[in-house]
Amino acid sequence: MIRIATATFEDLAHIASWLSPVDRMELACTRDPDDYLALARDAAQTLIHKVALDHGGNPIFAFGAHPAGLTSATVWGYKTSEGSRAIKAVTRYLRDEMIPSLRATGVVRATCYVHRDNAGSRLWLARLGFRAKATHGEIGTPLLLYQRDEPDVPTLHTMH
């Protein structure tokens, strides 16, 4: 059984030190994926930093969010090679807990970047209501900007 908990620095560092190949590829676009302590430090400094723990209590998937203005948040996630086992539990947590909590604070837009070759994350984000808003050519990397707007809030502009 997968359990979601507030991540400790140790949880974040463990996952960062055992990144899945696709997350390693994606993170390499913006940072040194081998500097797992810096990744863990950055993740720990976000407002929301959660971890999925497997049945043995091992951290396998880290995710979270940080405000980006009054009505927006930047969301992030990274996992170990075992992290895909936590997708259902993380999705349930996002839908039932994190999105409503962010919404209660006034957040109506979430953004993140995903590698164009990360088909699994792109599909998962689409199922969560995210849409591609900028191509890699527009931002100068193989990363795509994905954005999720609350459906009952009028969209005035797209973040670029």
Containing structural domain, residue 80: 3-107
Q: Please give the pLDDT value at position 15.
A: 98
Number of domains in the chain: 1
Domain contains 156: no
Residue 43 lies in a domain: yes
Beta-strand runs (E) in 2-158: 3-6, 48-53, 59-67, 72-79, 109-115, 131-134, 143-149
* pLDDT the model gives residue 26: 94
In a domain, 147, yes or no: no
Mean pLDDT of the chain: 92
In a domain, 95, yes or no: yes
Q: What is the pLDDT of residues 92-113, one digit of tens each?
A: 999 999 999 999 999 999 999 9
CATH of the domain at 95: 3.40.630.30
User: What pLDDT is attached to residue 148?
Assistant: 95
Please give the DSSP secondary-structure letter assigned to residue 31.
S
Q: Give residue-wise pLDDT tens across range 19-78.
A: 999 999 999 999 999 999 999 999 999 999 999 999 999 999 999 999 999 999 999 999
